[in-house]
């Protein structure tokens, strides 16, 4: 099964619209068509971002926390033992790249491709939700 790291931008987009690739990826994740990797820092980011955008997304804090709990349950949980810093221009994204490397992920899925330009040096692909969706939906 393919394992990826979903950037929080994908979760927010998936909640904002039921018509986009991000929402479809969340459906396929629930159907176990691919696996996500999770670390403590990523779970905390998911929670912070979803709670911050809760009103705009039409959910309350409890629902946002429940989603993060669910993602933690189904995810491949990965400890990070080695830091690859600095590899990216934004130090706040480094933990996502480090999780991807540590968990042996095939890609980071994000709407913010430019933020992960340095990922190629560590042989990590960076894909948009639409690009990853195309690969997941192939028979």
**Amino acid 118: pLDDT:** 86
Condensed to tens digits (0 to 9), the pLDDT of residues 59-81 reads: 999 999 999 999 999 999 999 98
> Where is average pLDDT lowest: 30-34, 52-56, 87-91, 132-136?
87-91
Give the C-alpha separation, 91 to 43, whole Å.
17
| pLDDT confidence tier of residue 84, bands split at 50, 70 and 90 | low
Return the CATH superfamily for domain 3-137.
Answer: 5'-nuclease (3.40.50.1010)
**Amino acid 82: pLDDT:** 72
As a whole number of angstroms, the longest Cα–Cα distance in the chain is 39
Two tokens, residue 17: 């619209």
Tracing tokens 């998911």 back to the chain, one arrives at 46
Which of 39-48, 50-59, 119-128 is modeled with the greatest confidence?
A: 39-48
* Across 117-136, average pLDDT: 93
Give the C-alpha separation, 110 to 106, whole Å.
13
| pLDDT confidence tier of residue 139, bands split at 50, 70 and 90 | low
What is the separation, in whole angstroms, between the first and last Cα of the chain?
Answer: 13
Mean pLDDT for the chain overall: 93
The pTM of the whole model exceeds 0.85: yes
Where are the chain's structural domains? 3-137
């Amino acid at each position: 099964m393919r394992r990826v790291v979903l950037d929080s931008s994908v979760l927010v987009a998936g909640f904002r619209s039921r018509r986009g690739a991000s929402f479809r990826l969340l459906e396929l994740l629930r159907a176990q068509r691919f696996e996500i990797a999770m670390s403590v820092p990523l779970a905390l980011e998911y929670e912070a971002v979803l709670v911050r955008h809760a009103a705009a997304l039409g959910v309350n804090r409890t629902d946002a926390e429940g989603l993060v709990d669910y993602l933690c349950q189904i995810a491949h949980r990965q400890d990070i033992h080695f830091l690859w810093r600095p590899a990216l221009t934004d130090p706040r994204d480094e933990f996502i790249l480090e999780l991807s490397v540590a968990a042996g992920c095939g890609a980071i899925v994000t709407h913010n491709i430019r933020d992960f330009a340095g990922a190629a040096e560590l042989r990590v692909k960076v894909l948009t939700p639409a690009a990853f969706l195309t690969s997941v939906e192939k028979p």
